[in-house]
Amino acid sequence: MTVKLNQTAFDYAKTLINEGRVVADERDAWSEHQPSAQQENEFIRRHDLADYAKWHLGIDPDENDDSKGKYKFPYGDFKDIHRCGVLAAEGRAGQYKYHDIRNAAAHLHGMIEGRAASTAKKPAG
């Protein structure tokens, strides 16, 4: 199985960050913040699989095109990008040696951290 970078999802994630639609949560919060299977199914029912795909940095070309299993490395909750989701994707992609996905997640991570630093209040001088 070779999972490829979902360029559409990567571009969408960058847009979300630029719009400020980021939850700057803790590294280990993804297990609590990741959408459940029921939430995923409801999202697909209300939208479509193409919209679902935009929330996943990886595509498995060996999986059925009409299946949730085709999409890997989720990074958000269908509303906002989550820092913890990006970090989870970055770590897992690195483990499995999906370098293009790891690099994309690292780029998003850098964008999130850069945005947080630029919006932090400066001390009164």
* Reported confidence tier of residue 117, pLDDT bands at 50, 70, 90: confident
Q: Which of 90, 101, 111, 107 is nearest to 19 (CA)?
A: 111
Handedness of CA 22, 25, 28, 29 (dihedral sign): negative
Whether residue 80 lies inside any domain: the answer is yes
Asked if 82 and 33 touch (Cβ cutoff 8 Å), the reply is yes
Can you give the residue range of the structural domain that contains 41? 4-119
Which positions ≥6 away from 13 have C-beta within 8 Å? 57, 75, 76, 81, 86, 108
Whether residue 68 lies inside any domain: the answer is yes
Q: In this model, does residue 29 exceed pLDDT 70?
A: yes
* Reported confidence tier of residue 12, pLDDT bands at 50, 70, 90: very high
Whether residue 110 lies inside any domain: the answer is yes
Whether residue 125 lies inside any domain: the answer is no
Whether residue 114 lies inside any domain: the answer is yes
Whether residue 124 lies inside any domain: the answer is no
pLDDT in tens, 42-94: 999 999 999 999 999 999 999 999 999 999 999 999 999 999 999 999 999 99
Domain count, the chain: 1
Which tokens in the block code for residue 92?
């897992």
Give this prediction's pTM: 0.92
Q: In this model, does residue 4 exceed pLDDT 50?
A: yes
Whether residue 111 lies inside any domain: the answer is yes
Whether residue 66 lies inside any domain: the answer is yes
